Every structure is written in C-alpha cells, then in structure tokens.
C-alpha cells in the first residue's frame, strides 16, 4: 500500500477495496469466535465454572477464553473509527502486545499438555518450554518494529504494520515454529501409542492426543497461511489473515479444554465417588496408564504392573492440569 496521502484514482479504489476486504474478514473472524462462545456457553458453565474447586487450568482457560475477544473489540473499533494520528500512535502496538500475552497463555497450556502426554518427561517438557521462550522473545523483538499504516485521505482505520515487513513477519514465523514443534511432538506421541495399543479400544489418554493432533493441524495450517501471506501477498493484504489465525487459536484451545472435560465426564463411566481409574497397557515396559477422572479433571499417573503403586494425591492434582488443557 502506498505510504503517500496522495493516491491516483485507480490505486485509491484498489486500496479502499483491499482495506475493506481485510476489515470485513477480521470482523467475520471475530464474529466466528463470539458465535462459538455463545454456543459453548452452557458447556463452559457446566464443565468449568460449576466444578467444586478451581485450579490453574481454570485461570488459564479464562485468560484464553476472554482476553482475545475483549481485546479484539478494541481492534475492530480501531479499524472503522477515524481516530486522530495522536490517538492512533499511542494505541498502535496494542494488537501485538495483546498477541504476546495471549500467545504466552496458549503456550503455557500447550507445554503443560506436552508434559502430560509424555508422562511428565523432563527433557521434552524443557524443550517445549524453551521453544515457547524463544517464540515470545522473537515476537517482542518483531512487534516493536510496528507502526501505523499511512492511509490515503478519506480512508479511515488505525492499522498496525511493520516498518520492515521481513522483521515484522518473524512474529508469525516464531509462532509457526512453536506450533510445529507442538504438533509434531503430539503426532509422534499419537503414532507411538497407537502402535503400542494395537487394535484395542482407545483409552481416554489416546483420545486426548488423537484429538490434539486434529486441533493442532488446524492451528498449524492457519499460521502457515498467515506467514505465506506476509511473505508473498501484495502489501495491501499482507496482514489479512492475522486476525483469523489469532482468533481460531483462541477458539481451538478453548475447545480442547472443554472437550477434555466432556471426555472425562461422559466417555468414561462415572461412579458415585466421581473418580475412576482406567488402565491400559502402554508398552513392553509393563507400565499401566491410569486416568483418574475427578470433578471433570482427568489425571495421568503411572504404576508398575508388578507393584500397582499409585502416586500421591498431590501428584495426581499436578498432572491433572496437563491433560485437561487439551
């Protein structure tokens, strides 16, 4: 898009057309998220807020569920209102600052989830956590290069762009890299578990990582499209898919947690104690996987088949958050 306020007629028409398309696409993406929040409100109340106790999963869920839509109300308004240059300059880094915060929340959820499905493996957890730290650091470096888009006279909108498009796109490349790591770690775990279980019925644990692969694939594809548009699309529409990528990630992560709660409450028989243990062989190590489901919070523990020793209640609560975040 031209950075001059004086634009020939044909270019002005094209600029206005592209800008309107980008605004409507962002608005439609926002409506998608609010619609999903509306149709899942009953599930959220039942599976999150009506539980007897809250945990860190509750906090992470609430941050993921509400920070992005509330922030995007401001962003959508900024696209359509004739703000002064002074107001726009004060606001302009808000979208990416919001993205850093929400990406941190989502990243913590994903790291804890990897920690759970890899049986609390320290090495893989530290690797995923390190990738999250790198992602956030790169995002902060990239978005501080942001500035407002200079629009032709008569066209309104306070829109964030990068002074250097290559530097700015690294915000999304970093997210794509982190999502790729999480996706392939989940996929590897899924393949490994299917091979071990063979033709036997899927456990809740298997359901967790199988559904995770599907959801992560959606996020992965959305971010690939965003990166490709930043690199290859005309300047007018480089950031067009950014809103969709952010909002679909928020939607998917909320669904992951709600679906895990549903699996804990409905896929397994619930006893009067509201806590059961489901066991399944997971390999030649003769380990048994236990999924303890209590108050909608599934917990992964381990015991050797020979001794059938179970971990403490503290460990159960600790592990609980990992799988539920699915």
* 221-276: pLDDT as tens digits: 998 999 898 888 877 788 889 999 999 999 999 998 888 777 666 644 433 333 33
**Residue 83 to residues 155, 163, 255, 262: CA-CA distances in angstroms?**
11, 20, 36, 45
Q: What percent of the chain has pLDDT over 90?
A: 33
Average pLDDT over residues 157-185: 87
CA atoms within 13 A on the CB side of 325: 28
pTM: 0.75
Q: Please say whether the beta carbons of 58 and 45 come within 8 A.
A: no
Pairing of strands 297-304, 287-294: antiparallel
Q: How many Cα atoms occupy the beta-carbon half-sphere of 222 within 13 Å?
A: 21
pLDDT of 24 above 50: yes
Cα-based distances in Å from 234 to 141, 202, 308: 24, 47, 62
User: Given this model, what pLDDT does residue 219 score?
Assistant: 87
Q: Is residue 301 part of a domain?
A: no
Q: Into how many domains does the chain fold?
A: 1
299 is a domain residue: no
DSSP summary character for residue 210: H
Asked if residue 318 belongs to a domain, the reply is no
Q: Is residue 3 part of a domain?
A: no
pLDDT tens-digit series, residues 97-125: 999 999 999 999 999 888 988 888 899 99
Residue 20 lies in a domain: yes
SS3 call for 115? helix
Is residue 34's pLDDT more than 60? yes
Nearest in space to 302 (alpha carbons), one of 275, 321, 277, 322: 277
Residue 55, domain extent: 9-269
pLDDT recorded at residue 102: 94
Residue 288: per-residue pLDDT: 29
Query: Helix (H, G, I), strand (E, B), or coil: what is residue 160?
Result: strand
pLDDT at 8: 64
Please identify which residue in the block is written with the tokens 């493996």.
121
Distance CA 135, CA 82 (A): 34
Q: How confident is the model at residue 278 (pLDDT cuts 50, 70, 90)?
A: very low
- State the helix-helix crossing angle for 122-143 and 165-197, rounded to 10 degrees: 160
Question: Is the separation of the CB atoms in 189 and 209 below 8 Å?
Answer: yes
Instruction: Give domain status of residue 289, yes or no.
Output: no
CA distance 231 to 93: 21
115: in domain: yes
Nearest to 229 by CA among 143, 150, 169: 169
The pLDDT of residue 133 is: 97
In a domain, 286, yes or no: no
CB 61 within 8 A of CB 47: no
Q: Are 256 and 325 in contact (CB under 8 A)?
A: yes
More confident residue, 122 or 294: 122
Q: What is the CATH number of the domain that holds 87?
A: 1.20.1070.10
- CA atoms in the 13 A half-sphere facing the CB of 303: 17
* CA 107 centroid distance within chain: 7
Rounded to whole angstroms, the Cα distance separating 115 from 104 reads: 16
Residues of the chain by 3-state class (helix, strand, coil), percent to 5: 70, 10, 25
Question: Exposed, middle or buried: residue 303 (CB in 10 Å: 0-12, 13-18, 19+)?
Answer: middle
Residue 289's φ and ψ, nearest 5 degrees, are -90, 130
Which of 21-30, 53-62, 82-91, 195-204 comes out lowest in average pLDDT? 195-204
Rounded to the nearest integer, the mean pLDDT of the chain is 76
């Amino acid at each position: 898009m031209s950075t001059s306020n004086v634009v020939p007629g044909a270019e002005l028409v094209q600029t206005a057309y592209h800008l309107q398309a980008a605004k409507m696409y962002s608005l439609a993406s926002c409506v998608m998220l609010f619609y999903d929040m509306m149709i899942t409100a009953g599930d959220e109340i039942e599976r999150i807020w009506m539980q007897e106790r809250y945990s860190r999963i509750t906090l992470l869920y609430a941050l993921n569920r509400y920070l992005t839509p509330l922030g995007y109300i401001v962003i959508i308004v900024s696209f359509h209102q004739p703000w002064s240059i002074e107001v726009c300059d004060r606001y302009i880094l808000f979208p990416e600052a919001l993205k850093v915060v929400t990406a941190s929340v989502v990243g913590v959820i994903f790291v804890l989830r990897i920690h759970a499905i890899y049986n609390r493996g320290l090495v893989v957890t530290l690797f995923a956590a390190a990738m999250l730290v790198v992602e956030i650091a790169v995002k902060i470096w990239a978005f501080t290069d942001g500035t407002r888009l200079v629009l032709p006279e008569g066209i309104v909108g306070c829109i964030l762009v990068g002074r250097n498009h290559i530097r700015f796109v690294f915000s999304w490349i970093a997210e794509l890299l982190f999502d790729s790591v999480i996706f392939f770690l989940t996929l590897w775990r899924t393949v490994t578990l299917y091979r071990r279980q063979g033709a036997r019925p899927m456990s809740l644990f298997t359901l967790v990582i199988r559904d995770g692969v599907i959801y992560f694939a959606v996020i992965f594809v959305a971010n690939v499209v965003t990166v490709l548009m930043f690199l290859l699309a005309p300047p007018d529409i480089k950031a067009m898919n950014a809103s969709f990528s952010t909002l679909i990630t928020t939607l998917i992560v909320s669904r992951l947690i709600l679906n895990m709660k549903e699996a804990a409450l409905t896929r397994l028989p619930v006893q009067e104690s509201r806590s059961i243990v489901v066991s399944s062989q997971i390999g030649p190590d003769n380990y048994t996987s236990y999924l303890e489901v209590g108050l909608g919070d599934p917990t992964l523990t381990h015991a050797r088949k020979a001794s059938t020793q179970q971990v403490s209640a503290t460990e159960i609560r600790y592990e609980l958050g990992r799988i539920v975040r699915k």
